[in-house]
Amino acid sequence: MIFSQNIIFPILLDYRKPNEQDVKEILDMLDLCTKIQRERFLLYALYDFSYAEIGRRCGCSKAAVHESIEGVRKKFFKFFR
């Protein structure tokens, strides 16, 4: 799994290339997220969609998308720190 925009790996992994264990831990952390959070976050991180694009696809506001993505980021930092 490759994350575009380098959203996750540089922040959490000190700019090193992720290994198998890193990817497993990231996927385990994503399992802790709600389905909606995970969907919105992956559209943003993997497919480089804007909040507005995600909102249109998911039928929600940009603010709702922002809240979902920030929720995932907080979980990442809590999980990995």
pLDDT value at 25 more than 90: no
- Please give the model's pTM, rounded to 2 decimal places: 0.73
Residue 49: predicted pLDDT: 94
Q: In CATH, what number does 23-80 get?
A: 1.10.10.10
Q: What is the pLDDT of residues 38-74, one digit of tens each?
A: 999 999 988 889 999 999 999 999 999 999 999 998 8
Domain map (residue ranges) of the chain: 23-80
Residue with tokens 């929720």: 71
Q: State yes or no: pLDDT of 11 exceeds 90.
A: no
